[in-house]
Amino acid sequence: MVLCSDREPGPGWGGPRTGTPQTHSRLRSREDPMPVRVRFAPSPTGYLHVGGARTALINWLYARRHGGAFILRIEDTDEARSTPEMTQAILDGLSWLGIAWDEGPFFQSGRQALYRENANKLLSSGHAYRCFCSKEALDSRRNASGKPAEWKYDRLCRAIPREESDRRAAAGEPFVVRCDVPKGKLAWDDVVKGRIEFDSSEVEDFVLLRSDGTPTYHLSVVSDDVAMGMTHVIRGEDHISNTPKQIALYEGLGVEPPVFGHLPLILGMDKKKLSKRHGTVSVLSYRDEGILPLALFNFLAQLGANLGEEPFLTMTEVIRRFDFSALKNSASVFDRERLAFINAKVMGETSPCELAVVLRPFLEALLPAGPEPGEAAVRVMATRAKDLRELAAMLVPFLTLDFPLDPKGLEKARKDPGALAALEGLLPRLEGLAEDEWGPAKLEEVLRGHAEASGVKAGALIHPCRLFLTGRTESPGIFDVLAAMGRPGTLARLKRGLDSVSAAGG
RNA sequence: GUCCCCAUCGUCUAGCCCGGCCUAGGACACCGGCCUUUCACGCCGGCGACGGGGGUUCGAAUCCCCCUGGGGACGCCA
């Protein structure tokens, strides 16, 4: 493990410290009577996508801002679709982004007893009842209603007396447990949307326990949020219509509901909900494309929020500025161009040393077991690359002599034999430079002087020089490249370039 | 279909809560120009929006209503 020798902190993504459960201090003060406890609760049925990442990020930000705890809970009760690989991918995605959880990850699959216990509690307190209606019976009533799309459970089984219900259950008749949704308004003050109200007539007596005895989503979420002491439930807008149901459960359980907040969705460029067909949605794939975590972090934090005018901020600064009031309440579009812009900015502010570290996998892919690039090379080339993948490609010519020369550039070089001859004449002069003279200023002086002496324009020397050193027709300032390449490296590439021109040129 | 949410440049957004300082500001992208050894960066300039209709008011992007448009949810999925 190579550590950065310079102490330059860079914009840094304070390395993730994950998975270490800590006991959160329950310090109380007058202003903050209850420590903030928030959570991110993904179901491991897919990769961590940018929408989920943003939800996690906002919860994390809020926890950090208020010295609270951020809890990670994996909702893996859908055994058919959940996989350990997806769980790992979610963990990896969060860690890469720099979002560390304070507690967890907890798995719902191991907490069945709690859910069943709460269902029984609800049953005995009369906030839930057994429903013996079969799926077929439900379907036929739905179809007979005339408006099957609007049909809700007709609450027939709510009228069954307790003794009869107990008797039928004991006799082995299959049943589900439904919530007895109370009459009236189910409302809350949403921290991002404002007041939201549902009339209970719009809310069905939903199922809490399936006929196989397993809990449904609403029961397990509320049970866990209560058990884990969540103070705020901040999640995607697609959960708004679940909220009245969950409020009914809190009421049934006799527990004060948490503060709810519903985040606007992230849309694709076509303004439709972001999905696979919009291309990249997985957080990890941005890592693999050479995006820096701090760039995605900033992009996500600033999407649908107003954190200031700067293109990007340090994590600390994002935390300092974040608040629910900074959030917009309308959906926003995921604009890759903007992400690319932010990434380029972040790269420019990241120390060469840090870049060298995160660059390794990309270099490894291009040049297995190749040497590490020098810091000077990274520093110079990073000024033109917009992502790590590009940077790695630009560094290859610094690490090997075996790199292709741009054909268009080669063609152009051949058309000016005079310049090539002059370039050849430059070699001994470069060779004559002392090690400590090998810097941009001196190199420029020598090259320009030689150009004048040879009767060619400086540019005529510079262009083939750039081509031979970098393989490309564009690069950072040539004298900086020359300097970063070093004397032996420069001479070798210049000779190789000159050779290939004459060889291929016939 | 029913319920819920939302609505400023192509995109991200400021302004909206507490009407006038808004001939609506910034940024990304795009188009010019400058700089220059190339390409970027940077700088300068340009293009470009209050969805529509009614109110309220001396005055509305800002307040109210309707319409339209977009999105979401309507499972013994989560």
Residue A20 has pLDDT above 60, yes or no: no
Q: Reply yes or no on whether A457 is catalytic.
A: no
A428 and A494 Cβ atoms separated by less than 8 Å: no
Mean pLDDT computed over every residue of chain A: 88
Instruction: Read off the pLDDT band of A18 (50, 70, 90).
Output: very low
How confident is residue A11, by pLDDT bands cut at 50, 70 and 90?
A: very low
Q: Is the confidence at residue A258, as pLDDT, over 90?
A: yes
Nucleotides of B under 7 A from a protein CB: 1-8, 10-15, 26-29, 37-41, 70-78
* Closest-CA residue to A218 (of A203, A206, A230, A226): A206
pLDDT bucket at A7, cuts 50 / 70 / 90: very low
pLDDT of residue A25: 34
Q: Which protein residue's Cα is closest to nucleotide B38 at C1'? A: A474
Can you give the pLDDT at residue A501? 79
Check if residue A341 sits with its Cβ under 7 angstroms from strand B. Answer: yes
Gap from A448 CA to B37 C1', in Å?
11
| Nucleotide nearest A465, from its CA to each C1' | B37
* Side chain identity at residue A28, one-letter code: R
Nucleotide in closest CA–C1' contact with A215: B76
Q: What is the pLDDT of residue A2?
A: 42
Separation of A266 CA and B13 C1' (Å): 15
Identity of the highest mean pLDDT range in A3-12, A341-350, A497-506: A341-350
Report, as an integer, the average pLDDT of A441-458: 90
Instruction: Report ipTM for this prediction.
Output: 0.92
Write down the pLDDT at residue A503: 67
- Token digits of residue A490: 């420069």
- pTM value? 0.89
- pLDDT tens track for A460-505: 999 999 999 999 999 999 999 999 999 999 999 999 998 887 765 4
CA of A309 to C1' of B14 (A): 10
Q: What is the pLDDT of residues A311-326, one digit of tens each?
A: 889 999 999 999 998 9
Q: Which residues pair with A261 in a beta bridge?
A: A234
Between the alpha carbon of residue A199 and those of residues A108, A128, A204, A248, the distances in Å are 30, 19, 11, 12
Q: What is the pLDDT of residues A44-57, one digit of tens each?
A: 988 899 999 999 99
Mean pLDDT of A233-256: 95
Question: Which nt sits closest to A192, CA to C1'?
Answer: B5
Question: What's the confidence (pLDDT) of residue A33?
Answer: 62
The closest alpha carbon to A112, from A218, A246, A221, A215, belongs to A215
Q: What is the C-alpha to C-alpha distance for residues A29 and A473, in angstroms, rounded to an integer?
A: 63
Q: With the CA atoms of A292, A298, A300 and A303 taken in that order, what torsion angle do they form, in degrees rounded to the nearest 10? A: -140
Alpha carbons A356 and A223: distance in angstroms, whole number: 46
Place of tokens 């290859």: A396
